[in-house]
Amino acid sequence: MKADHKKVERYLKTARGQIDGILKMMEDDRYCIDISTQLMATIGLLKKANNEILAAHMRSCVLEAVDEENREEKIEEMVKVIDKLAQ
């Protein structure tokens, strides 16, 4: 993976901390909207991490595949990922 490891790691560690906080909020029976807000923030961080990884994949693996025999396979991989993101 050629993504910025530090950036992705920071997003994921922050998301992990937020999830721990959300679990505590649920245990404390906090206001649902506050919990939902934290969930959306966590989802945003996970999306940022995923975007960083996918962008790196496109810049490396997919770009390299353009000149190779497996380009159709790499394009199909990206189509499947984009389909999943659209759900």
Which residue range(s) make up the domain with 73? 5-86
- Out of 5-14, 48-57, 60-69, give the one with best mean pLDDT: 5-14
Separation between Cα atoms, residue 62 and residue 75, nearest integer Å: 7
Tell whether the torsion through CA atoms of 56, 17, 38 and 81 is positive or negative: positive
Average pLDDT over residues 53-67: 78
Query: For residue 32, what pLDDT is reported?
Result: 97
Q: What is the DSSP string of 8-54?
A: HHHHHHHHHHHHHHHHHHHHTT--HHHHHHHHHHHHHHHHHHHHHHH
Q: What is the pLDDT of residues 14-59, one digit of tens each?
A: 999 999 999 999 999 999 999 999 999 999 999 999 999 988 888 8
Tell me how many domains the chain contains.
1
Q: What is the CATH number of the domain that holds 48?
A: 1.20.58.1000
Separation between Cα atoms, residue 26 and residue 35, nearest integer Å: 7
Tell whether the torsion through CA atoms of 36, 41, 45 and 51 is positive or negative: positive
pLDDT band at 1 (very low <50, low <70, confident <90, very high): low
Separation between Cα atoms, residue 71 and residue 80, nearest integer Å: 14
